[in-house]
Structure formats: structure tokens, C-alpha cells
Structure 1
Amino acid sequence: MEAKLGMSPIAWWNDDLPDLSDDVSLEECLRQSRSAGFTGMEKGRRFPDDPAVMLPILRAADVTLCGGWFSGTVVDEEIAANKDRILPMIELFKAVNAPCIVYGEVGRSIQGDRSKPLATKPRLDDDEMRAYARRMTEFGEWCAEQGVPLAYHHHMAAVVETEPELDAFMRHSGEGIPLLLDAGHLAFAGGDVLRAIDNHHRRINHVHVKDIRRDVVDSLDRSQQSFLDAVALGAFTVPGDGSLDFGAIVQRLADHGYEGWFVVEAEQDPKKAPPQRMAEIGHRELMRVMTAAGYTVETTGFPKD
């Protein structure tokens, strides 16, 4: 089985919490991640949107673009509006041969609002979830027809956060909307990561290997503290520095035949958790558990001519 290891630039620059950002260039971010062993990087705010500009940067760093976040609003906005907004991203991702676009639902979400406690997250009733899942399937099918599939990201403080919400979304949606499995977000939400893999492995097309610090998560007052408060307190970290058993998680994915990207997305204070050191810890732990699970990990980055 083959796998690729990538990172998210959120370890260097946090879009929602600018205070948790390193003053480093895109080139330095890519250099640090690549030196730790990662061959991919998801798109962040300092990436150019012109493929003619982006490709030389990726080539020089020997790094592949392995995904990137799209802030979707299908839950409460017309699909047509989302198509208009995502189409330039689809064209960019096709030009640089990126595998998928990470769909994050921000409609009704409180994930970026530090004034909203975790307990006030939006919730959909059964009819709303059914209708939303069907619209997401339609949108996912359209994106795939344009040349780039989506990967649906269940997320803290959003309409699909908990394991029961994820189960309902997956039950009412179709193959046209693949799943991004994020271990850290599901564990933060109180879900069983291994059970979710067993239940939904056929739809998983992208994996975020985000770890959590269980003591931080368990000490949160969810009636008072927000998702961003949790991030600032250090709720997330890289595999090998947190509380989740990635040996078991990676093995379960291997048992179901998952092949593709494993992406470290671990937003935290770069002053307390220097990104390059965190990248090295995460890569070392992932190589350990992936080798044990029988994966062959790709070691080359940008495709050679």
C-alpha cells in the first residue's frame, strides 16, 4: 500500500488567529516542512493563486500541493453561488495537479468567532440534515465533473461536528461527496475515530492526522470557551506529541485499504511549538506507525519532468 505525507501551513500561519502565526515566507514554510520529510503542503493564504507563479515555487521546494480549504456555504446559500466561488480554485488545482479540495462548511458555523462558546454550535434537525446532505452531494458531483473532487471536512463548531452528525450526513449523502477523516476534530467532538473509519471507510479520500492534547480538551468549559479559545490553549498538536493512538488509527485505515494523503494539520502557537520541530516530531511518528501498518511512503515531492 502506498501513502504520501503532507502538512497544512496552519502550523506557520493561522488565518483565524493571526497572533498564532510565524513571520515566515511561503518558501521558508515549504523548506521547513520538506526538510522534515513531508512531500506535500495544503494551500494557505500566502500561496499565489496563479499556477504560473505557484508551480515554480513548488518545483523549487520539491513539494506537491496536496489539497486546500474552501469555505463553503451550501447549508444556507444557493449552490450556484458556491460554484461561482469555487470555480477559480478548481482551475488552479487542476493546473497544479492537486488531488482534492477540502470542503469546510462555514455557513452557520461558529468556528471563527471567539465570542461564541462551543456549546452554542449550530445544529440541524433531521429534515435539515437530509436536505443539506443532498445538496452537498449535488455540489460534490459537480466539482468532480469539473475535474477536482471535494473532501468533506467534519469540523468542530460547524453543522457536522459530532459522530452522530457525521453518521447522519453520510447516511443521507451519496458517493458524490467523499469524506475527509480528521482524527483530531472527531476525538475533540467526543467521537470514536476507529468506529468512524469502520463505518465510512468507503468514502474516505483524504485524511488529516491531527492530534489532540486530551487534558486541554477535557478541561474546557464548553459553555464559556470557544473553538478558537481551545486552539489558543493548545488543544491540537502533531502525532507523537498528543493523546491519540495513531498506530491504531493508521492500522485501521490500512486494514480497509486506504491509500493516499495523510496530512498533518496542527494549529498551535508557533512560539510555544516551533513548526519545524513539530513537523519533525509528526513525521517521525507517522513513519513509525505507517511502516508498522505496511505502508510504503512516497519520498519524492514535485514530479520530475
Structure 2
Amino acid sequence: MKATVAGAPVSYGVFEMTPEGATTVSADDMLGSLADAGYGGVDLGPVGFLGRGRELRDRLAHFDLELAGGWVQLPLSEDEAFEASLPSLYDALRVFADAAEAGPGRLPLPTLADDGSLARRANPGRGSEVDSLEQGAWDRLIANTERAAEIVRSAGFEPTFHHHAGTFVESPDEIDRFLADVGVDLTLDTGHLLIAGGDPVDAVSRWGSRINHLHLKDVDRAELARVLATGGGMAEVWMSGAFVAFGQGDLDLESVMTTVEANGFDGWVVVEQDVLNAPDVAIDAFRASRGSDQQTNRAALRRWA
């Protein structure tokens, strides 16, 4: 299989939702942990976390890692808010360009995503019930996705779109509708698909020709169901430990990867084990636990990549 396996800062508690003032694993410590585990790349994480320009290139080169992609969240269904968010897209693209100057073997994929709504983020997996999107807003979402994709392509990169719990492209039906309406391929995220009631094995068969980026997560579905049943939103899901190391949850990894391989997938496979660490976390123990899980995750994928 031609895929390249990458890790992600979110597996070490570093992402846009990390609590203000929380102690986090440093960029160098995280990259060292991923390199030791045998990963070939890393996702961007919050823009600037891995550095910019020469600092970014030198850091990646030191650990023999390439940049796999990175999250760019945009309020796609609201024209005014979308326009106001475009500087964040251009900023992220400058960082992708910084990394690409090193001439990587595989370019990173800017990973576009919708912003969703407060109601949807508070009710992951039930978005269409709590906050359905009327046709005009859907049309804006499609048009703004196409515009964002054009900006990405003009910068020399191929975009990908991430369906995500708590957004307006969450459920399998919403993903079907999105792919029918827009010329941007899909980041399939097994964890977020499970939250939305989808089947990752079916998804790989159903959307295989449109999947150009893969985010792999294993999920403890009993813990996930407990959090959702008590009214938990995405923050509570991330804090609960529902995302577990491969083999400790309910993802049929073998069937997913065998189908991905049969489809001839040739791209980045990004391992994500989302965790939201508490502000008072004991960082050394936390880092050790995160590193151990990423060793387990990388080992589980060796038969395919």
C-alpha cells in the first residue's frame, strides 16, 4: 500500500480546543515521540505550533517527518462570517507553503471543515434534529466551499473536506449530499463518522473514489454513548477518553484498511486519538501515556503501511 502514516498534535492534547493556560507537550517532544514510533509525517495542529518558515522546515527535517495536512475551519454557511474568516485560510496556506519548500515526497492537504453551530456542537450526532440547515444556507455552504477550494488550489495544494461532528456536514446523508454538490474530495474520519451513526467500512466502500485523505480513530462506543446520553457535547467527548488506542475500541480496523487498500488509496493516513487534557494535568505522565498509545497505533498499521 502506498499510503504514508502520520501522527497528529491532537493525540497529545494540542489542538484548537486545548484549555487556555493548560500545560502541553512541546512541539519537539511530540515530534520526537512520533518519530520514535515510526511515523512518516505529522498533521499541523494549531497554526504556529510547529513554527513557520525555516523553523518549521528545520524542525520537520530534524525528526525526518513531513507535513501531512492541517485543519482549517470556516463558517461556510454564512457569507459575511466566511469572508471575515478568509485571512485564517491564507495564513494556514502560508505555513503549508513553508513546509512545501523542502520538496516533500508527498504534499500536505489543507483540510477544510465547516464551523457548524453551537446547537450542533452541543449535540454531536444529532445535528439534523437540533439545527437543520435550510436550502439557502446549504447553497451558501456549497458555494463557499468551492471558493475556499479554489483558493487552496491557487496556492498549489489539493484541498480535502473533513466531515465533523457538530458541523453541518456530519451524518452519512449530509456527506452524500455534500459530495453530490461539490467538487472537493473527502477526509474520511472514522471516529466522527461513528459519532454520527455511520459505518466506517461501509463508508470506505461507498465514498472510496472520493476519499483523498484518511483520519483514523478508534472509539469506545460504550463510553461515547454514555457521554452523549448525559447530554455531553464535543468537549465532553474529547475529555472522556472515548477515543482509544487501536484494538481497545470498536473500530474494525482490519476491514477498514483492507478495503482502503483494495481501493488503491495513495495518500496520507493520519492517526488521531483526540484527547482534551485538563489544565492541571501532570504533563510527564500524560506525555508518556500519549507516546505509548501512538506506539500501539503505529504498530497496528504496519501490515498495510
Between the aligned partners of 2:245 and 2:235, the Cα distance in structure 1 is: 17
Is 2:42–2:66's contact at 8 Å kept on the other side of the alignment?
yes
Match of 1:234 among 233, 241, 259: 241
Q: Corresponding residue for 2:134? A: 125
Matched residue, 2:154: 145
Query: CA 1:21/1:208 → structure 2, altered by over 3 Å: closer, same or farther?
Result: farther
More helix by share: 2
Alignment partner of 1:247: what SS? helix
1:171 aligns with 2:173: no
Q: Report the CA distance shift for 1:49/1:27 in structure 2 as closer, same or farther (over 3 A).
A: closer
- 2:302 is paired with a residue whose SS is helix
Cα distance between partner residues in 1 of 2:79 and 2:238: 28
Are the structure 2 counterparts of residues 135 and 169 from structure 1 closer, same or farther at C-alpha, using a change threshold of 3 Å?
Answer: same
Q: CA deviation at 1:138?
A: 3.1
Change (3 A) 1:232 1:76: same
Q: Which amino acid aligns with 1:39?
A: G
- Aligned equivalents of 2:165 and 2:229: distance in 1? 12
Match of 1:198 in 2: 205
Farther-moved stretch of structure 1 (44-53 vs 229-238): 44-53
Deviation at 1:219, TM superposition (A): 2.1
- Alignment gaps of 5+ in structure 2: 101-106, 278-284
Deviation, structure 1 residue 10: 1.0
Contact 1:205–1:260 at 8 Å: present in 2 too?
Answer: yes
Rate the CA distance shift 1:72–1:40 in 2: closer, same or farther, 3 A.
Answer: same
Identity %: 25
Residue of structure 1 equivalent to 2:2: 2
Question: Equivalent residue for 2:298?
Answer: 283
Partner residue of 1:93? 96
Q: Quick one: structure 1 residues 281 and 140, their matched pair in 2 at CA, closer, same or farther if it must change by over 3 Å?
A: same
CA distance in 1, matches of 2:58, 2:111: 23
Number of corresponding residues: 285
Secondary structure (helix, strand or coil) at the match of 1:228 reads helix
Equivalent-residue separation in structure 2 for 1:269 and 1:50 (angstroms): 25
Change (3 A) 1:154 1:20: farther
Contact 1:110 1:158 in 2 (8 A): no
Native 8 Å contact 2:235 2:276 kept in 1: no
The change in CA–CA distance for 1:214 and 1:263 in structure 2 (over 3 A counts) is same
| Among candidates 140, 156, 167, match of residue 158 of structure 1 | 167
Q: What's 1:67 paired with? A: 69
Alpha-carbon shift at residue 278 of structure 1 (Å): 0.6
CA contact (8 A) 1:209 1:239 kept: no
CA distance in structure 2 between the aligned counterparts of 1:30 and 1:241, rounded to whole angstroms = 24
Q: Which residue of 2 aligns with 1:293?
A: none
Q: 1:24 matched to which residue of 2?
A: 25
Aligned residue type for 1:188 = I
Q: Larger deviation: 260-269 or 76-85?
A: 76-85
Report deviation, 1:105: 1.4
Structure-2 separation of matches of 1:21 and 1:11: 15
Task: Specify whether residues 93 and 127 from structure 1 end up closer, same or farther in structure 2 by C-alpha distance, changes over 3 A only.
Answer: same
1:94-113 aligned within 5 A: 94-97=97-100, 98-108=107-117
Aligned to 1:301: none
1:151 and 1:238, CA in 2 relative to 1: closer, same or farther beyond 3 A?
A: farther
**Contact in 2 for aligned 1:236/1:268 (Cα 8 Å):** yes
- Name the CA shift for 1:39/1:54 in 2 (closer, same or farther; >3 Å): same
Pairwise CA distance, 1:130: 4.0
Q: What amino acid maps onto 2:295 in structure 1?
A: E
Per-residue displacement from partner, 1:55-104 (whole Å, max 9, x unpaired)?
11111111111111112122213454444331232122123124211112
CA RMSD in angstroms, aligned pairs only: 2.5
Q: Deviations over 1:199-248 (max 9, x none)?
A: 22222111001111111122234462111112211121232332101110
Alignment correspondent of 2:12:
12
Q: Residue deviations 1:16-62, cap 9 Å, x none? A: 14389663211110000110111111112362452111111111111
- For each residue in 1:108-152, what CA deviation from the matched residue of structure 2 results, as whole angstroms up to 9, or x when unmatched? 2567x6xx3434664323453344223312321331122122211
Identify which range, 191-200 or 219-228, moves more after superposition.
Answer: 219-228
